[in-house]
Amino acid sequence: MAAIITQDKAMAVATVARSPGYWSGVARRLSRDPVALVALGLIILLVAMAILAPYLAPYDPTKASMIRRLKPIGTPGYLLGTDELGRDMLSRLIYGARLSLIMGVIPVPIAFVIGSAIGIVAGYVGGITNTLIMRTVDVFYAFPSVLLAVALSGTLGSGLGNALVSLTVVFIPQIARVAESVTTQVRRLDYVDAARASGAKGHTIILVHVLGNVLGPIFVFATSLISVSMILASGLSFLGLGVRPPDAEWGLMLNTLRTAIYVNPMVAALPGVMIFLTSICFNLFSDGLRSAMDVKS
Amino acid sequence: MLLYGLKRLLHVIPVAFGVSIVCFMLIHIAPGDPLAAILPSDASAELQAQMRSFYGLDRPLIVQYGLWIWRALHGDLGVSIATGRSVSGEIAAASVNSIILAIAATLIGFTLGSFLGFLAGVFRGGLVDRLASGISMLGVSVPHYWLGMVLVIVFSVHLGWLPAMGGGPGGSDGRAVGWDYIRYLVLPAITMSVIPMGIIARTIRSLVADILSQDFTQALAAKGLMTRQILRHVIRNAAPTAISVMGLQLGYLLGGSILIETVFSWPGTGFLLNGAIFTRDLPVLQGTILVLAMFFVLVNLIVDVVQGTIDPRIQRS
């Protein structure tokens, strides 16, 4: 092993080992945070459950049966009971992870890219461009997020695509505002002036000096939005504005089971437990990530 | 103070203008013809043209917007397609219920949240802190519409203590101060209070922790003040931020109450909006969103000005 590593490389490794970089420091601090690790583990399990749904689910999630409707939890063969159309709850909860995670997670990275681009440009260019961009962002920020999401998907109509668009539009202004304020701070720092003085062009400064220093904080903020997005996305489905029946999605399942709370309350509450679990895992992980990335603490 | 208020107002006017444009455009991004909801599909071309000019849909967009906003500023938001009643009247009736619910929820959430946050900030790192942080973490992560369902299952279905849904014995018009009305308010208000509670607890915790670590509180302690007296200073320093967070949360709850109002069939603006979406009642949809968004803008303005008045440091920044 030692033979194939040249001395230069060994020296490099040793140097790195002695003064670990920022990201390895973050990873190290994160690996010492048991709560964040458990949350991350559960998130990975949920994603695996969504991907492997056809292998894990005992039944077809859309196969209805009028004779076994609303069976309680623990019915032989139907571990978590059946829903109002006699579909197996366990299978629907497993399959539900697919659409629920897609609806809840996807809008955030899209909004992260668009919102960061808008905010960084506004913050870096400044002046009238900044004013124009940020006033437009303010208009969308002036809506409470639930209201904006409901207004957009309510007018566009139900469906997965429209829900994704609405949620993305909700998060873009929030991310853009954070990106703008971080960029404005970084732009005033000495090393950016130094880069400019040494002849670096605008795009080089943005790509190398600004981007590297603003993406971290924006990223942390964006991860904290995933749990909000999960709750909002399932909320849209709960209102009948997200995916359409008979698709399995936790929010939609809550909606259709709402009428069953007098017959079989425990089964009716199950999809909400899944939304709660997912949202709390994302929140705990993002909290851990934030404190791991915060060098000051 | 007056100057600061005026400056904030000048900042808010373009935002309010933009908000009105977004609300106006909602109808035009909606797929399909806005008339499709009113006219039968086999309506004659002549009738369609007649209705189009009746609703002003044949004019240029900018003229339509001008007319719409001019009427809206005079309190006329059009007529509901579903009920034929005036949209402003429906919104006014629903708003009262929403405001009552939002205020009740904010009061509960603020009381519990500031209590938890204060304890957590004073006993940082201890058991109380962890418990309070845990509760506020649960509060911000819980899907509140589901919590509403669970509370209904426990308190209405199992225990039978409180009604599961509705806005009181007299329906949406029969508000009478008394237990009969409050009974209906309890579950939705508690459900809704969970949202601001977590956020307020987290804000106050970091505020209190921050103030306690500053030099002046340590100087107070060194001077020999009792803990109780030091905490009085902490509260006075934390109050402006706490109050502004409370105001903002009230605004959020008013605008974002649609999920909880739907769960409990609480006859407020969110419930009205939900109904309008499913009957494709575009005037009601547009009007409700406009009023709620403007209300949110107004609440933010008031919070800014009040906070600037209490804490002059904000005016300077």
* pLDDT > 50? residue A8: no
More confident residue, B198 or A78: B198
Domains and CATH numbers, chain B: 87-316 (1.10.3720.10)
Inter-chain residue contact B150 with A272, CB threshold 8 Å: yes
**pLDDT per position as a tens digit, A108-147:** 999 999 999 999 999 888 889 988 999 899 899 888 889 9
Whether the CB of B150 is below 8 Å from some CB of chain A: the reply is yes
Q: What percent of chain A has pLDDT over 70?
A: 92
Nearest by CB to residue A283, choosing from B14, B140, B292, is B140
Inter-chain residue contact B27 with A155, CB threshold 8 Å: yes
Inter-chain residue contact B289 with A234, CB threshold 8 Å: no
Give burial (CB, 10 Å; 0-12/13-18/19+) of A142: buried
At A20, the pLDDT band (50, 70, 90 cuts) reads: low
At B173, the pLDDT band (50, 70, 90 cuts) reads: low
* pLDDT > 70? residue A48: yes
Domain boundaries of chain A, sorted by first residue: 105-246
Q: What is the pLDDT of residue B232?
A: 81
Nearest by CB to residue A283, choosing from B137, B146, B293, is B137
Whether the CB of B209 is below 8 Å from some CB of chain A: the reply is no
Cα–Cα distances (Å) from B215 to B174, B209, B211, B311, in that order, read: 55, 12, 9, 19
* pLDDT > 50? residue B152: yes
Q: Which chain B residues have a beta carbon less than 8 Å from that of A283?
A: 137, 140-141
Nearest chain B residue to A139 by CA distance is B15
C-alpha distance from A173 to closest chain B C-alpha (Å): 13
More confident residue, A275 or B5: A275
The ipTM, to two decimals, is 0.85
Whether the CB of B303 is below 8 Å from some CB of chain A: the reply is no
Q: What is the pLDDT of residue A295?
A: 58
Q: What is the pLDDT of residue A276?
A: 94
Range A105-246: architecture per CATH:
Orthogonal Bundle (1.10)
**pLDDT per position as a tens digit, A65-103:** 777 777 777 777 777 778 777 788 888 889 989 999 999
Residues 249 through 278 of chain A touching chain B, CB cutoff 8 Å? 251, 254, 258, 261-262, 265, 268-269, 271-273, 275-276
C-alpha distance from A144 to closest chain B C-alpha (Å): 6
C-alpha distance from B174 to closest chain A C-alpha (Å): 26
Q: What is the pLDDT of residue B227?
A: 76
Q: What is the pLDDT of residue A12?
A: 45
Q: Which chain B residues have a beta carbon less than 8 Å from that of A231?
A: 141, 143-144
